[in-house]
Structure 1
Amino acid sequence: MKGKQYGLLTLGLLLLAATGCGSKPVSGRAAAESPEPAVRTTIVNTEGKTIGSATFTQEPGGVRVRMEVSGITPGVHGFHFHDTGKCDTPDFTTAGPHLNPTSKKHGLLSMEGPHAGDMPNLTAGADGVAKADWLAGGVTLAKGKPNSLHKEGGTAIVIHEKADDGMTDPAGNSGARIACGVIR
């Protein structure tokens, strides 16, 4: 990342570390084994073609998200957990709004946020490939919890066409939904 974008992400991660919430990059293995089994989903584009996959694993402090997609526009994209486990093409509006069981404002940089489903931006290289390895602190795989990715009807992970500004409600001015995967 360069310049201003890097500064905002760094600021956001520092704020999240200070408050103990939100999502953060992770590396290495978890200290404890997950009580919930890992969940894998296929990511499709607006034409319904598979462009990648994501794996979700419960860890202390949240859900580890490992995702790789290809064939998206190079640059920065918002991606979020959405409230409904549906990914109907071509616009994925069936995925509903962001997962937000506590009725907070959008944005990892928002003083009144974030949504449980807010995630840091995803960057696709010149080849259209984007990879993520994040710990999403606002969600769980434990069934029966309001912030569970395993809620009745499922949830979805959605990639947007533009970067999420981290503050603007309801979706950070991140534009159209360009890819989606159902989490069940």
Structure 2
Amino acid sequence: MRLPLALAAALVATPAVAAEPVTAELKNGAGEAIGKVTLTAAPKGVLLRVEAKGLTPGWHGLHFHEKADCSKSDFTSAGGHTHGGGDRQHGLLNPKANETGDLPNLYVGADGTGATEAFSSLTTLDALKDADGSAVLIHAAPDDHTSQPIGGAGARVACAAVK
């Protein structure tokens, strides 16, 4: 059986997707496990799943950060947001481009648990697993998706190292 030329070309041009997702433990500032994050490579980005407990109810900023280092209790060891180069600025609603670390907010219910699944076309799993890895951080307040540099999301309250 012969495939139509356009279909055959599309199959050859489609990048390979990693079969195995990457799972990382989510920790609070005391170093206690409070959940997990799972990242799965997709043909045009990365799929992120977050499952957390023990957080304050309400909306929380969620970002990819530069380093797989959650060693400091305030998580500043994870560096800033992944950027992606060029003139990118923070904010999913910012017309001046998006950083690769920009993600939608996470909602946490009255019982302190939150879960979400979000897709980012701004980065890839391979980019997040570079030489120094990256981190998924949850912030104390919601991200307004426009303010610089972190959308008013406040302190870092949970961290998962992605290697």
TM-score when scaled to structure 1?
0.77
- Residue from 108, 112, 124 that aligns with 1:140: 124
**Where does residue 108 of structure 1 map in the other structure?**
92
Of the two, which has the highest radius of gyration?
Answer: 2
Structure 1: runs of 5+ lacking an equivalent: 1-31, 143-147
Structure 2: runs of 5+ lacking an equivalent: 1-14
After the TM superposition, which segments of 4 or more aligned residues of structure 1 sit over 2 Å from their partners?
32-37
Aligned residues: 148
User: For each residue in 1:99-132, what CA deviation from the matched residue of structure 2 results, as whole angstroms up to 9, or x when unmatched?
Assistant: 0022411000001121101000000000111101
User: For each residue in 1:43-72, what CA deviation from the matched residue of structure 2 results, as whole angstroms up to 9, or x when unmatched?
Assistant: 000110000001100112211111100000
RMSD: 1.5
Distance 1:83 1:138 in 2: 14
Whether contact under 8 Å (2:18, 2:40) holds in the other structure is: no
Distance 2:56 2:112 in 1: 6
Shift of 1:36: 5.2
Identity of paired residues, percent?
Answer: 39
Q: 3-state DSSP class of the match of 1:35?
A: coil
User: For each residue in 1:4-32, what CA deviation from the matched residue of structure 2 results, as whole angstroms up to 9, or x when unmatched?
Assistant: xxxxxxxxxxxxxxxxxxxxxxxxxxxx9
Shift of 1:34: 2.8
Distance 2:110 2:83 in 1: 33
Q: 3-state DSSP class of the match of 2:153?
A: coil
Shift of 1:183: 0.2
